[in-house]
Amino acid sequence: MAYKVMGITAGRKNGNSEILLKEALTVCEEQGAEVTMINLRDFNILDCTGCTACTKAMSQGKHIGCTLDSKDDKKKIMDVMLNQDAVIFSVPTYDLMPASAYLTFAHRSLSYGSELLLALLGLALGSMLAPMLAHSPAYVRRVFRQKVSWQR
Ligand SMILES: Cc1cc2nc3c(=O)[nH]c(=O)nc-3n(C[C@H](O)[C@H](O)[C@H](O)COP(=O)(O)O)c2cc1C
């Protein structure tokens, strides 16, 4: 069965993040993966209100999700995202941080108990983007060709 790889960007339409992500996904596809791509800017994702209902429930061993789950698109994205073998984030750096569309998305992951992991991943990829831009899509393609070896 083909590996499923999802690309998630939060940059401009046809911008640098999207171009780099498409290059990475193309390599995955060439290696036999089934790929999908979304841009967080196309979705309605509300800010975490900090109500802590999710973490209070977790501390009692319960999982109640997020109080905003039915009000926006976050859960719809997560339902697809958590069904992937791999997820690639491609997010522009704004003021030395990932762009806000990604941060809003990451903060809302607290109810999944993995906020820290997602935030760290986003920061790592965000800070990788700038050096990558000093190179070219061909560079990204080369790096991913080396990294995407799980199909062989
Ligand atoms: C508000 C703003 C802040 C930015 N801050 C940084 C920054 O701190 N460091 C950096 O290297 N680039 C910074 N940039 C440049 C963007 O990260 C860069 O242009 C990126 O490629 C844009 O991605 P996109 O084309 O996918 O939208 C900033 C751009 C904007 C609009």
- Do you know the residue count of the chain? 152
* d(CA 111, ligand 1 centre) in Å: 29
Local confidence pLDDT in tens for the 152 residues of the chain: 899 999 999 999 999 999 999 999 999 999 999 999 999 999 999 999 999 999 999 899 898 999 999 999 999 999 999 999 999 999 999 999 999 999 999 999 999 975 445 555 565 566 556 555 555 677 677 766 766 654 44
111-126 burial code (b ≥16 CB/10 A, e <16): bbeebeebbebbbebb
Measured from the Cα of 95, ligand 1's closest atom is 8
Cα-to-chain-centroid distance, residue 60: 29
The residue type at 3: Y
3-class secondary structure, 133: helix
> What separation in Å is there between the alpha carbon of 104 and the centre of ligand 1?
17
Tokens of 41: 């800017």
State which of 39, 40, 93, 97 you would mutate to test the pocket of ligand 1, scoring each by most atoms of that ligand within 8 A of its C-beta.
93
Contact 71, 41 (CB under 8 A): no
Q: Which of 54, 79, 56 lies closest to 68 in space, CA to CA?
A: 54
Pairing mode, strands 97-98 and 93-94: antiparallel
Confidence (pTM): 0.81
Q: Which of 94, 103, 132 to mutate to test the pocket of ligand 1 (most atoms within 8 A of CB)?
A: 94
Q: Quick one: pLDDT at residue 151?
A: 44
Nearest to 19 by CA among 138, 128, 146: 138
Q: Tell me the HSE value of 57 on the side-chain side, using a 13 A CA sphere.
A: 14
Q: Whose CA is nearest to atom 19 of ligand 1?
A: 92
How high is the pLDDT of residue 146?
Answer: 64
Q: What residues flank ligand 1, with Cβ below 6 Å?
A: 11-12, 15-18, 92-96, 130, 133
Could you give all domains of the chain from N- to C-terminal order, each with its CATH number? Answer: 4-144 (3.40.50.360)
How far, in Å, is the centroid of ligand 1 from the Cα of 59?
38
Torsion angles phi and psi, residue 148, rounded to 5? -85, 80
CA of 62 relative to ligand 1 center, distance in Å: 40
